[in-house]
Amino acid sequence: MKYTRLGKTGLEISALCLGCMSYGEPKRGPHAWTLPEEESRPFIQKAIEEGINFFDTANGYSAGSSEEILGRAIKDFGNRDDVVIASKVFMPMRRGRNAVGLSRKAILTELDASLRRLGTDYIDLYQIHRFDGRTPIEETLEALHDAVKSGKVRYIGASSMHGWQFSKSLYLADLHGWTRFISMQNHYNLLYREEEREMMPLCEDQGIGVIPWSPMARGKLTRDWEETTPRSGTDEFGKTLYTSNETSDREIVDRVRKTAEARGVSRAQVALAWMLHKPFVTAPIIGATKAHHLEDALAALELSLSDEEIAELEAPYTPRAVSGHG
């Protein structure tokens, strides 16, 4: 396994992050396609055995059961001091007032709840899942700063927002002497490269680690365009993505196929190798619900694409509306 530092910090993470959105009790939360605990644990165990030490979850994944599954698996298979746990806050965990968003009350309440579910006394990377336009940024940033100073959080990160929102957040943290975001978890893959316009240059300039979600574009880069899966049929959020540029997207998917066939590797390896080539990407967040998913991701670390192959994969891309912030 290759390792790197997250942003400008000394935090050592694996070059791959295992995303745990797919691990959760199917009857809890909106995602019926998630794997229950007994089916999830082997993937977390295998990841640890292969040297992956970076795991991403969220309070809102399967109504908190993703955090519970991850916490128990790390206790059984890993060394807490070696492992980097990333979780998130924003999504509603109950009905009622102050149940969603990034107010001080919501953040501190949900932080304690996540700690209980994870079975740990601190979270390594605590991320805001979305930008909260209804709460002053200053309130959110000071609450996150206090969470770090309390010892319950080691570092803070952000996810899925516009470049100006992230830039303002960094500026205000510096202005007030508050803890700074060290990472950006954003939507980025061969079918969605709008982040290259503002967010990626901003992160490079500010020394922010980039940990993209959905590097396989919800699996679209790994199969023929018309092919579906049980998840794609019930993934309501996924249905809102990759719908407006079908002509160019089909061509990109086909070029991934051709490159994979020419190299004698899987399409997933090609799509991930392309992302790993980008100097601003720190560690893609991969999903794994089948054994070969982890195998492909690990193999991609050793796959080097030529400049010509990369240009061929990127050529059909066309500008599109910003997505993934909702």
Q: Which residue numbers are catalytic?
A: 61
Contacts of 145 (CB under 8 A, 6+ apart): 173, 178, 179
Residue 192: both structure tokens together: 């969605």
What is the torsional sign of CA 246, 249, 251, 253? Answer: negative
**Which of the 8 DSSP states describes residue 36?**
P
Q: What is the DSSP letter of 289?
A: S
- Half-sphere exposure at residue 27, Cβ-oriented, CA atoms within 13 angstroms: 1
Looking from the CA of 216 toward its CB, the CA atoms found within 13 Å total 24
Q: Do residues 222 and 266 make contact, with C-beta atoms less than 8 angstroms apart?
A: yes
> Shortest CA distance to 112 belongs to which of 71, 59, 61, 65?
59
Looking at 129-162, list the stretches that DSSP marks H as alpha helix, in order from N- to C-terminal side.
137-149
For 182, counting Cβ atoms within 10 Å of its Cβ (0-12 exposed, 13-18 middle, 19+ buried), the class is buried
CA distances from 322 to 12, 91, 160, 225, 276 (A): 31, 20, 10, 21, 22
Q: How far apart are CA 192 and CA 179, in angstroms?
A: 30
Q: Are 32 and 230 in contact (CB under 8 A)?
A: no
Decide: residue 260, CB within 10 A, 0-12 exposed, 13-18 middle, 19+ buried: buried
